[in-house]
Structure 1
Amino acid sequence: MTTAAIIGGGVIGGGWAARFLLNGWDVRVFDPDPHAQRKISEVLANARLALPQLYDVAMPEEGRLSFHPTIAEAVSGADWIQESVPERLDIKHDTYREILTHAPADALVGSSTSGFKPSQLQQSVEKSGAVMVAHPFNPVYLLPLVELVTTDANSKETVQRAEEILRGIGMAPLHLLNEIDAHIADRFLEAVWREALWLVRDDIATTEEIDDAIRYGFGLRWAQMGLFETYRIAGGEAGMKHFIAQFGPCLHWPWTRLTDVPDLNDELVEKIAAQSDEQSGARSIRELERLRDDNLIGIIRALKDRDSAAGALINEHERQISAPLAAPDSEISAPLRLWEATVLPSWIDYNGHMTEYRYLQVFGDTTDALLCLIGADRDYVKAGHSYYTVESHLMHLDEAKLGERLTTTTQILSSDQKRIHLFHTILCGDRAVATAEQMLLHVNSSEGRACPALPEVSAAIEAIAQEHSTMPRPETAGRHTGQRRFA
């Protein structure tokens, strides 16, 4: 078991605590804020929910978290000490002197500073070789990049050990060749931030329009938040004003040279071309384009599942181009046509057929369409009621292949105030591809128990059920798994 000490438990310090803790480290925290324990516990709750979703194997057994009244007590026995105190050199120097007085002789000290160089941090500090920059990105427990910046005071063995520790907790240490103000990533971010402030000041764009320009275009890496919303969160509970108060003075520092462009002489052009060839020359342009497109699809589809940013645009467009197919009230005696789509490349398995879990998705989407039709839509769910699928029986009758157009039909077999018994069929033209018999149960989501549907929803499903009661019952309705298809 290894031990990390977190000195400063704000937004970044709390993220570091979660990253170490969920990777099996014991974590000891010092922060004079009386609310530090609550804040870190809330960050940790998010991390426990989020980080394991990145992995298909079990995470290490969680370490032990403890809070301590002094730096001396927090760093006792620590292998790694992460400093995340305010961006003032005098505060940092005082903190390092306290840390190095009480920490083990071989402990490493990483600073979360976003702007100071390690040579500045090491000034007036004994055992300066233990201190280095380890600058992460919020949320620390999810984003792997950490900028590792060192000086000649840090031995090769120290740097190697730091990289091994960071990789051991799932991070990607980027060791800078030379130190520079604001390191690498924040020099890009600070340049964009400056331009964004001018655009707002000059009434060129609002903060929301600037965020849209980023998350719907070149900034899909920032798509879940955009620029201003990301910085707002970085301000913690105090919000955007706190962020600007803390980092606003940095805008007057010479971190970037936005109008100072290096001479593109032959030597520099050759240097850039050679490095680019080494980086990407193994793939053709077409291969790189396909890789780019596949990655963007993955990102946008993930956002789509959460109805966020660029994914929300796709969902809205889907609603425009694929309105519910259900017939009007006068024609609901026929099975409802609720959903249709084309079999996509991502739906195909190694046999060239639609993969099994996509059938489940199609039936789920069809059920969602039915629920929207009867008024059990997103607003209904937000108000605390929903239908849960409690039983399903699927039959695979034929194969669906790439590019085929699929349509689903739905027949209500029975219903009451709490239940809907339904039968879905996936059709490719007139050919039945699969069926699903399902039982839905109406629940009070906040109380976690079954309850009658609200009157307007009950009335809507009952009207359909009455019309469908005269329809022939599907031959396979009620069959059990493994039953022979023919007598």
Structure 2
Amino acid sequence: MKTAAIIGGGVIGGGWAARFLLNGWNVRVFDPDPDAERKISEVLANARRSLPSLYDKALPPEGALTFHADMAEAVADAAWIQESVPERLELKHKIHAQIQAHAPADAVIGSSTSGFKPSELNAEGARAVVAHPFNPVYLLPLVELVGDAGTCAQASDLLRDVGMYPLTVRKEIDAHIADRLLEAVWREGLWLIKDGICTTEELDESIRMGFGLRWAQMGLFETYRIAGGEAGMKHFMAQFGPALEWPWTKLMDVPEFTDELVDLIAGQSDAQSGHMPIRDLERLRDDNLVGMMRALKKSGSGAGGVITAHEAILPTPEAVDLPVTVSRPVPQSWTDYNGHMNEAHYTEASAQATDRFMELIGCDADYIAAGGSYFTVENHVRFLDELHAGDALTITTQVLTGEGKKMHLFHRLFGPEGQLAATVETLLLHMDLNARGTSLPSDAVADQLASYAAAHAGLPLPEGAGRHVGQRG
């Protein structure tokens, strides 16, 4: 089990701690703030609620979280050391000197800085790279890496293991990539509000109701490529390029940060969302991010593709006599107005169990691409207990029949305390995807299915098997 040392436990440091901890790393925190443990525990509570909901496989067991008053103790044997102290260069130099004195020689030392370049961070002998994340660090995958090429490559491998998307910046530059874009939008937004064009709420609506949704899955240039129609990007640039010379923007001019402007923006922001405590606002943000990122996961677009790639390297429970075919948390998006898991998602969960069992017998992606698969022709679900968002869901699969074209399975869905929450009996037929008709499976798949059927033949018939809707007793 790897160890990460988090130096500075504020919003960003707490997010780093959660990202590593929930991906099975031990985490040591160094922060003199007497409230650091409380603050990180609150961030962790939100992370535990949201991050597992992105996945359809269980994350690794959590590592151990400890707090340390001694820098040497905090960084000892750490594979990753992340500095997230306030953006004051003299403070970062002081902290990195302490890290450098005690860090293992092969540890990656990252800085969360949003503005300083590696040459500035390392001017007094440090060996840090910029590893600039985005809030909330435990959900958003992007990390901008800037610095030594070898260290950035090492950092990229470690970051992918915890489900992040490392983007190595080709040249060091003030504010890296994303914050330069954000700064441009921020400056223009300040002018629009100062000049009375809109309020903070109206400006936010213009983003989230329009181009923000496009950017989430295509970014800027791919979005504009589509805007060019069949002629593509050249047509778009020819059509809209002249607008760059029009007086549309004040990007090179900054409004004076007067008390009046600060009060105007702060007052509008309070009117917009001051009715919600910050933790409630964070949970609303996290729920929305989980929902959008899970939607992107279906198409593999944007952040959804990162989740799919990370999920592929998460460990899968080994096959046993009754294989565990699903081990995952219940995401918030699976719950309904009654506060529990919606009936449709019991079937979705059982479909995931069926898919996993198909993989166990060799009916995997390659097999399906070659033209063979199983199609569900009948399901029977019994709802026995409630499941709620965040509950650990485990499914075991028993083969009732496995011969010829038929595969007859019985899934048991267990809740967090081991209670039987539902059973799903499902009948499938093997299909030739090219002919779109039933067919016999390959010999290899048939043999694997037969071996499970033989192993399960001695088990008692599950309670509820063979029932029909409305049957008594």
TM-score by length of 1: 0.48
Q: Which of structures 1 and 2 has the bigger CA Rg?
A: 1
Greater RCO between the two (CA within 8 Å, min separation 6)?
Answer: 2
